[in-house]
Amino acid sequence: MEGCLACDLSEGRRELPGGTVYSGGYWLVEPCVGPLSVGTLIVKPRRHITHIWELNAEEAAELGPLLVRVSAVINELTQPDQVYACLWSHADWEPGHIHFVLQPVWKEQQTEHPLPGPMLQVEMFRANQAPERALAEDFAERARALMHQG
Ligand SMILES: [Zn+2]
């Protein structure tokens, strides 16, 4: 759908730094374009759907194993203490193209951000520091290689 950020990124109407990391039958994996840590990946359905309940059986079947695989790749490349997996897709109180955010988190981040979980994300979005492009592109390339080995 034109004008949807998720569709515009995957259909090439907006630039995606680092490019598509993995293209599955029903899901795409891309670097996160928001101000979260390098290593954060997005898992989103190819179809423009705005609610989890709209997933069909094939989309649902591919999702679980893909979330596991993508978090394993993030773990291998960034050695985090945790990989968050969350889905809000509700900007300005409007349902948007659903996308899981898979974000690596390290306990060292507590020196800058005392609270983990959603508070960490709130603070990172408020700070609004885009990931360094060269690092993000390098991560995307290594993640793509690992995703294609599996
Ligand atoms: Zn869309």
Residue 54 falls inside a structural domain: yes
Domain containing 104 equals 5-144
Ion ligand 1 neighbours (CB, 5 A) are 1, 4, 6-7, 48, 97
**pLDDT tens, position by position, 84-122:** 999 999 999 999 999 999 999 999 999 999 999 999 999
The answer to whether 63 touches 49, Cβ cutoff 8 Å, is no
**pLDDT tens, position by position, 43-78:** 999 999 999 999 999 999 999 999 999 999 999 999
Q: 86 CA to middle of ligand 1, Å? A: 18
Q: How far is CA 131 from the centre of its chain?
A: 13
Residue 97 falls inside a structural domain: yes
Report in angstroms the alpha-carbon separations of 26 from 22, 35, 43: 11, 26, 10
Q: 109 CA to middle of ligand 1, Å? A: 32
CATH code (residue 27): 3.30.428.10
